Amino acid sequence: MKFTTTWKRLRLAAASLMTASLLVGATSLSVAAATKLNAEGLIIPQRQNWSFAGVFGRYDRAQLQRGFKVFHDVCSQCHAASHLTFRELSEPGGPEFTKAQVKALAATYKIKDGPNDQGEMFTRPGKPSDPWPWTFPNDESAKSALGAVPPDMSLLAKARTVEYGFPYFLAEGLPFFEDEEQGPDYIYALIKQGYMDPPKGMKVPSGLYYNAVIQGSNHLIKMPSPLAMMFDSAGKPNDPKFYTDGTPITEDQVARDVSAFLMWAAEPKLEQRKRMGFNVLVFLGVFATLLYLVKRKVWAGVHDAPPSV
Amino acid sequence: MTDMTTAEPTRRDILYIATTAVGIVGAASVIWPLIDQMNPDLTTLALSKTEIDLKPVAPGQNIVVKWQGKPVFVRNRPPKMVEQVRAVPMSELIDPETDQARVQVAQWLIVVGVCTHLGCTPNVGGDYDGWLCPCHGSQYDASGRVRHGPAPLNLLVPKYVFKTPTSVVVG
Amino acid sequence: MSGPSTYVPKSAFGRWFEQRLPIMGLMHSSFIVFPNPRNLNYFWTFGGILSFMLVAQILTGVTLAMHYVPDARLAFNSVEHIMRDVNYGWLLRYMHANGATMFFLAVYIHMLRGLYYGSYKAPREVLWLLGVIIFLLMMATAFMGYVLPWGQMSFWGATVITNLFSAIPVFGNYVTAWLWGGFSVGDPTLNRFFSLHYLLPFMIAGVVILHIWALHVPGSNNPAGVEPKSSKDTLPFHPYFTIKDGFAVVVFMIFFAWFVFFVPNFFGHADNYNPANPLVTPQEIVPEWYFLPYYAILRSIPYKLPGVLTMFASIAVFAFLPWLDTSRVRSGTYRPVFKVFFWVFVLCGIGLGYIGSQRVSDATILAGRLLLTYYFVFFLVILPLLGLLETPRQVPASISAAVLGAKGAAAAMPRGVGAEPSVKG
């Protein structure tokens, strides 16, 4: 008797929770899927498919390596990535370049070090333990060269997000609808979809570009389209053999790869975290079940009859 | 007051034991990250190698290089000093070890400058052409071997490789 | 911490020790044989859950402090160093950050349980007041903790909250300069916040001990709201409530672990991954979710000083609750009208939280004012009047009568006294 009522109640609770989360989740997905320009001429970035999404999500090594090439050849010409170190590129859970590759890569950079015995600063080849060097010695020099300080890229994928608003954000925390990939969604949309002709009548000052993903500042961005540096206006790549792993180079591919790479750069421990998390949930599930059985044993009889006095 | 006997004492016991065991495993696995966070982190581990340029070290000169936060003594030993230190009979040593076993190239002595007594850094000096520890008076010779207590062991020889005849990587 | 101690140590050493420091006897009478009402439902496990969260926060916090650097130039980088380089650093930080959320979630449920079942009524007023003090200390701790990563939200959150004190007439600017240790939020502010953030949890732990002491003098309230009359009404704390609390804690841990491992930044703000920049305020600054209702109250008042005072009053009013509620019936279960107002109050709190998360517009200000009005009317008008006007249902004669009555009446669906309220709060 006791068991059946508990079971009924549990089932009812589970069913209502599932229905609620399905409803909320489905609505949030359909809102996200219907990504057109909204009333204000803005693009709300859509949810993309990422290999690292979900409970069993893992980074795609080849994709991270391609994304790294885009970052290395294009982004890092202007952007800093101060929290990223060379050695992380060979650590488990990332692009997993070999140690030798990383050492060779680091050595191609000149790192300022010192002072030496004569009290002078000197440059030396980079080492795997060095943080990613920036083209500019400081913010001010970047600003004078570029007109603005480009944001540091090492945490960019966590420092950007997409606001779907209430109540959809509730679904983003629920199992099966969880979403911690809004940063890469945003970056992908910004570089792949955002650059477009400004609305009629809008004057874009020189040195600025119209981007429908940018929310504030009149949808203007200082960064010229990075894809325009790699592709001509018809979408033909300047360098068809840009990717060395045989992946065809398309605008979409480049935008996806670099977004995935930036997610890894911001969250290099994601794979460790998800692997451990699954084990922890299984363990806690077993432990909770055992505790529940013990609890029922201990309380057996207490509910149905008064304790014998 | 309350009498809670059950019909199946054994099943209840097994259940209790299993639950307790799982609980202990859980507690133990929670403790590990709290302990392991104090171990050297990835930044520290990545800096575990130091490259030393030997070119500016003149014969007879000592230099001190920082490696893993500790001093490393590098001495450019003239042939006469090598001869002397290799002539010492093993019976005179507190921690017998040949000089040949302590160096890769006779000219270059490379040892960790941490006294094996209680961890102070010895200074150049003493009666054995080597080092004298300021803390408790231990003395080391030109091979970094302890010659006078209280230190029990010779100065540690770190792992190192010669990249070129004038450049060595410690660690 | 009270009640009869029947504890007799088994070993000779135990007896020797017990004569000199009777701590085992204290533990035994407080957590082994302590008589608890037998009809407690799962909402009574949140005390145990909160104790667990306090320990978890202190453990992860102390270990994080081994790596964190409270220096405005280094703080942001040291947090990122923890995330990337320190062994399990990412785990400790995500547990600590999400732990704050879990702590508040549990404390809100704990408080609402107290409100619903009248746990603040005589003879438990001091117990309730100690709880209010813990809540205030928690808010201070959480706020200062959020400043430590020194991201954009940290910096601007600290700026806005400390500026609340500039509303103080005449001395306002002196007070803020004193809080900051400068002319704006800066390095001295970060240092003192770190110091206090480390100190306050131990003060919380101290008040928690008083809270438990004050709990064990009258014993726990229960869903029926009638005091235990005989041993038939109670069960010893161990094993009945240790196992029940243990089970609830582990279930809560599953919920906690989900966020730590799979959506660790769900409760955070993306902007806090941008380092603090004193020259640029982010597009939107919102506090952490657990402060949103108070933030909404602050923004609903168009004048600075009254806004700040109203916000503080909305928290201070909890301290007067034992004397505002005039009802002689303790448990909300037997107060049909109160129940309705209670759930409206819960919705009102959620509504205020939602308003607090939105950009200011005419609509949100209007809605905020309506909800704010209900918030205060609930405490200051409804609770005092309802006790006089409402006709409560028949209260059971004893706890065991309540349990048996429910069982006998509706065997299939044990609703009412012994069961949980039908809506999970």
Find the radius of gyration of the CA atoms of chain B: 27
The pair of structure tokens assigned to B49 is 């190698």
Q: Once rounded to an integer, what is the mean pLDDT over residues B57-76?
A: 89
User: Per residue in B80-96, pLDDT tens?
Assistant: 888 888 888 888 889 88
Catalytic residue among C288, C300, C325, C400: C288
Whole-angstrom distance, CA of residue A281 vs CA of residue A273: 12
Residue C216 is among the residues annotated as catalytic for this protein? yes
Q: Which run of H or of E encompasses B75? A: strand B70-76
Mean pLDDT on A199-212: 89
According to the model, what pLDDT value does residue A304 have?
Answer: 54
| DSSP 8-state secondary structure symbol assigned to residue A235 | S
Question: Quick one: what percent of chain C has pLDDT higher than 70?
Answer: 94
Name which of C120-134, C142-156, C353-367 the model is least confident about.
Answer: C353-367
Asked whether residue A32 carries a pLDDT value surpassing 60, the answer given is: no
Does position C412 have pLDDT exceeding 60, yes or no?
no
Residue A216: what pLDDT? 74
Q: How far apart are CA C190 and CA C177, in angstroms?
A: 14
Tokens (6 digits) for B147? 């010659």
- Indicate the domain borders of chain A: 36-84+131-266
Distance separating alpha carbons of residues A211 and A142, to the nearest angstrom: 22
Instruction: Assign a CATH topology to domain A36-84+131-266.
Output: Cytochrome Bc1 Complex; Chain D, domain 2 (1.10.760)
Residue of chain C minimizing CA distance to A56: C262
Q: What is the largest CA-CA distance in chain B?
A: 92
Which amino acid is residue C294, in one-letter code?
A: Y
ipTM of the complex: 0.90
- Mapping DSSP to helix (H, G, I), strand (E, B) and coil, where does residue C299 land? helix
C288 classed as catalytic: yes
How many CB atoms are located within 10 Å of the residue A206 CB?
4
Q: Would the pLDDT of B108 be above 50?
A: yes
With a cut of 60, say whether residue A194 has pLDDT above it. yes
Can you read off the two tokens belonging to residue A125? Answer: 């080849």
Give the whole-angstrom CA distance, residue C98 versus residue A273: 14
Q: Tokens for C384?
A: 């005092």
pLDDT of residue A2: 46
Nearest to A283 among B3, B26, B46 (CB): B26
Computed over its alpha carbons, how large is the radius of gyration of chain C? 24
Residue A4 in this model has a pLDDT that exceeds 90 = no
Query: Pairing state of beta strands B50-53 and B167-170?
Result: antiparallel
Q: What percent of chain A has pLDDT over 90?
A: 64
How high is the pLDDT of residue C143?
A: 96
Whether A172 and chain C come into contact, CB under 8 Å, resolves to yes
**Among the ranges given (A166-170, A211-215, B19-23, B64-68), the one the predictor scored with the smallest mean pLDDT:** A166-170
Predicted confidence band of residue B68 (pLDDT cuts 50, 70, 90):
confident
pLDDT value of residue C408: 45
pLDDT digits (tens, 9 = 90+) for B27-44: 999 999 999 999 989 888
Q: Do A1 and C413 touch (CB under 8 A)?
A: no
Whether C61 shows a pLDDT value over 90: the answer reads yes
Among B150-154, C1-5, C100-104, name the one with the lowest average pLDDT: C1-5
**Residue B146 is encoded by which pair of tokens?**
């302890």
| pLDDT confidence of residue B131 | 92
> Is 60 exceeded by the pLDDT of residue C144?
yes
Q: What pLDDT was estimated at residue C411?
A: 39
Q: Are A193 and A219 in contact (CB under 8 A)?
A: no
Residue A176: per-residue pLDDT: 86
Band (pLDDT 50/70/90 cuts) for residue A163 is confident
* Residue B1 pLDDT exceeds 60: no
Look at residue A9 and tell me whether its pLDDT is greater than 80: no
Residues C232-251 have a mean pLDDT of 94
Average pLDDT, chain A: 86
Place of tokens 């014993």: C219
Residues in chain A: 309
Q: Where are the domains of chain C?
A: 1-11+18-36, 38-224+235-285, 293-413
Q: A292: which chain C residues are within 8 Å (Cβ-Cβ)?
A: 247
The predicted model gives A33-48 an average pLDDT of 70
Q: What is the mean pLDDT of chain C?
A: 91
Neighbours of A19 (CB within 10 A): 10
- For B48, the closest chain A residue by CA position comes to A129
The answer to whether C273 contacts A277, with C-beta atoms less than 8 Å apart, is no
Say whether pLDDT at C360 is over 90. no
Give the pLDDT score at C235: 93
Six-digit token string for A182:
């809004």
The predicted pLDDT at position B18 comes to 92
pLDDT for B6: 45
pLDDT band, very low/low/confident/very high, at C291 (cuts 50, 70, 90): very high
**Tell me, what DSSP letter sits at residue C361?**
-
Q: What single letter denotes the amino acid at residue C78? A: S
**What is the tens place of the pLDDT at every residue in B122-150?**
999 888 889 999 999 899 999 999 998 89
- Please check whether residue A290 is in contact with residue B22, taking contact to mean a CB–CB distance below 8 angstroms: yes
What per-residue confidence (pLDDT) applies to C405?
Answer: 66
Residue contact B37–C236, C-beta within 8 A = no
User: Any idea which residues of B carry the catalytic annotation?
Assistant: 136
Q: pLDDT-based confidence at C72, cuts 50/70/90?
A: very high
- Angle value at C-alpha C215, between C209 and C217, nearest 5 degrees: 110
In angstroms, rounded to a whole number, what is the distance separating the alpha carbons of residues A262 and C160?
A: 32
Q: Is C35 helix (H, G, I), strand (E, B) or coil?
A: strand
Task: Note the Cα C376 to chain centre separation in Å.
Answer: 20
Of A300, A308, A309, the CB nearest to B6: A300
- For residue A307, which residues of chain C lie inside 8 Å, CB to CB? 38, 232, 235
Residue A135's Cβ-count burial label (10 Å; 0-12, 13-18, 19+) is middle
Angle among Cα C301, C374, C383 to the nearest 5 degrees reads: 130
Give yes or no for a contact between C285 and C302, defined as CB atoms under 8 angstroms apart.
no
Which residues of chain A make contact with C77, given a CB cutoff of 8 A? 83
| Interval C317-327: pLDDT, tens | 999 999 999 99
| Neighboring chain A residues of B23 at a CB cutoff of 8 Å | 287
Catalytic entry in C30, C78, C220, C400 = C220
Chains touching C (at least 3 CB pairs under 8 A) are A, B
Q: Is A23 helix (H, G, I), strand (E, B) or coil?
A: helix
| C18 belongs to the catalytic site | no
Q: Which of B15, B46, B47 sits opposite A294 (nearest CB)?
A: B15
Structure-token pair, residue C164? 């609340």
CATH class for the domain made up of C38-224+235-285: mainly alpha
d(CA A300, CA C420): 19
Whether residue A203 is predicted with pLDDT greater than 60 in this model: the reply is yes
C236-259 average pLDDT score: 96
Residue A25 reports pLDDT greater than 60? no
Backbone angles phi and psi of B169, in degrees to 5: -110, 120
Write out the DSSP string of C123-166.
Answer: T-HHHHHHHHHHHHHHHHHHHHHHHTT-BHHHHHHHHHHHHGGG
Which of chain A's residues have a Cβ under 8 Å away from the Cβ of C260?
277
